């Protein structure tokens, strides 16, 4: 393969298609749908694929789609590319022509960008299918934002089989990263995220007579403070861990001790063994402390997504390929990020690389974070995103 020539072809196609990719993004942005309800989004993607002359696709996990683009010698190797397609329950505050027309629902995490970008990638790869060997498997995935995560459902329904991909790439917008740049991190990258629901039941009564009560507020407060020892004293300092409580409901009054307190929080880390151990230790500590103080503690921890580990070699190779595509100055190294992402499920099964696409533009005032009502992107990112992903797939198929 003549690397320079192929990159040149991809860049030309990405540029030729860029206005359509922007239109696709704006259409999807204007018509956002919540997790696992992406019915019209799925139909739109199918229509666009047909417009591009791509008809080898089927639905999966409800609103999901699997698309095959076969090059020469299609059985040689399979590389998968994934985009998530769902939106969030947020009311958009941007004043743009393509503002959400679905009141209270918004593409505030850039999944409209991932979807339209992957449509652009599909179109590029379809044009170049006589130039590469192997098959590219494109995954349009529903329900990234909602447990159990569309990725886990697609895997259950066999998305990683027939044909089996050797590896998978996922792309996500990053609002801290200027448009024109991409970021990579081999190894541990994102955290597992588990939800904690605690009820401490004591005995309420008049605040003037504490001897007649069992005060769940004091006991719950002790529990919160004590649990911080899990991350500061019990966790291996080499494994990042976060324990945060964001909700503490005690509905008494200045002179009323309530019967119960409810607290809610999140536990995040980057090691499956430690994750399991921490769950057991937290539960034991909370229940034991409550009991010692005469109360009852119900400690419920619900598992969310696993931690996300990028395959070392695949990611280093992808970074090198990105440098070939964008230049050294536009490829950055990423830090560990304690948010969670259901792409992590794929990383448990095959070599995977989840990387970041810069979308920030301070000159244009595009600086809002994801999951905010003013999130937006510099749309020049779409030409970069669609071309880069096509190049990542083709260079990986060459190996």
Query: Which residues are at the interface with Ni ion (CB under 5 A)?
Result: 109
Residue placing its CB nearer to Ni ion in the complex, 182 or 235: 182
Residue placing its CB nearer to Ni ion in the complex, 342 or 383: 342
Residue placing its CB nearer to Ni ion in the complex, 9 or 171: 171
Residue 33 carries which DSSP code?
-
Nearest residue to 137 via CA among 115, 105, 159, 107: 159
Asked if residues 311 and 353 have their Cβ atoms less than 8 Å apart, the reply is yes
Residue of minimal Cβ distance to Ni ion = 109
CA distance linking residue 21 with residue 258, whole number of Å: 56
CA distance linking residue 180 with residue 77, whole number of Å: 30
What's the min distance (Å) between Cβ of 144 and Ni ion? 6
CA distance linking residue 136 with residue 378, whole number of Å: 27
CA distance linking residue 274 with residue 92, whole number of Å: 39
- Would you give the distance in Å from CA 160 to the centre of its chain? 18
- Would you give the distance in Å from CA 396 to the centre of its chain? 23
Residue placing its CB nearer to Ni ion in the complex, 109 or 214: 109
What's the min distance (Å) between Cβ of 370 and Ni ion? 6
Residue 324 carries which DSSP code?
H
Residue placing its CB nearer to Ni ion in the complex, 106 or 198: 106
CA distance linking residue 111 with residue 385, whole number of Å: 12
Residue count of the chain, please give it. Answer: 399
- Would you give the distance in Å from CA 8 to the centre of its chain? 31
Residue placing its CB nearer to Ni ion in the complex, 145 or 194: 145
What's the min distance (Å) between Cβ of 62 and Ni ion? 19
What's the min distance (Å) between Cβ of 282 and Ni ion? 27
What's the min distance (Å) between Cβ of 383 and Ni ion? 21
What's the min distance (Å) between Cβ of 82 and Ni ion? 12
């Amino acid at each position: 393969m003549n690397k320079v020539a192929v990159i040149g072809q991809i860049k030309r196609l990405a540029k030729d298609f860029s206005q359509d990719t922007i239109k696709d993004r704006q259409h999807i942005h204007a018509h956002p749908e919540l997790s696992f309800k992406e019915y019209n989004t799925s139909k739109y993607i199918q229509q666009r694929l047909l417009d591009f002359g791509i008809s080898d696709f089927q639905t999966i996990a409800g609103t999901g789609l699997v698309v095959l683009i076969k090059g020469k010698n299609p059985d040689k190797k399979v590389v998968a590319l994934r985009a998530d397609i769902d939106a969030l329950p947020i009311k958009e505050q941007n004043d743009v022509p393509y503002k959400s027309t679905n009141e209270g629902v918004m593409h505030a995490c850039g999944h409209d960008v991932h979807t339209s970008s992957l449509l652009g990638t599909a179109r590029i790869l379809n044009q170049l299918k006589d130039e590469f060997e192997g098959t590219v498997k494109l995954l349009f995935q529903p329900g990234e934002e909602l447990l159990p995560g569309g990725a886990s459902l697609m895997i259950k329904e066999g998305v990683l089989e027939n044909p089996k991909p050797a590896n998978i790439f996922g792309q996500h917008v990053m609002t801290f990263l200027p448009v024109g740049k991409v970021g990579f991190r081999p190894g541990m990258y994102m955290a597992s995220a588990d939800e904690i629901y605690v009820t401490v039941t004591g005995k309420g009564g008049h605040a003037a007579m504490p001897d007649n009560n069992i005060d769940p507020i004091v006991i719950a407060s002790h529990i919160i403070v004590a649990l911080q020892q899990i991350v500061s004293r019990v966790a291996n300092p080499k494994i990042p861990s976060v324990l945060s409580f964001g909700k503490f409901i005690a509905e008494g009054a200045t002179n009323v001790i309530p019967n119960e307190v409810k607290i809610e929080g999140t536990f995040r880390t980057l090691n499956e063994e430690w994750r399991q151990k921490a769950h057991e230790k937290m539960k034991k500590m909370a229940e034991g402390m409550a009991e010692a103080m005469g109360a009852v503690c119900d400690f419920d921890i619900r598992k969310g997504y696993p931690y996300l580990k990028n395959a070392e070699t695949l990611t280093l190779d992808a970074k090198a390929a990105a440098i070939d595509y964008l230049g050294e100055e536009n490829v950055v190294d990423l830090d560990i990020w304690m948010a969670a992402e259901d792409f992590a499920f794929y990383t448990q099964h095959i070599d995977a690389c989840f990387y970041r696409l810069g979308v920030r533009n301070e000159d244009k005032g595009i600086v809002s974070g994801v999951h905010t009502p003013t999130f937006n992107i510099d749309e020049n990112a779409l030409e970069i995103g669609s071309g880069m992903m096509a190049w990542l797939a083709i260079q990986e198929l060459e190996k």
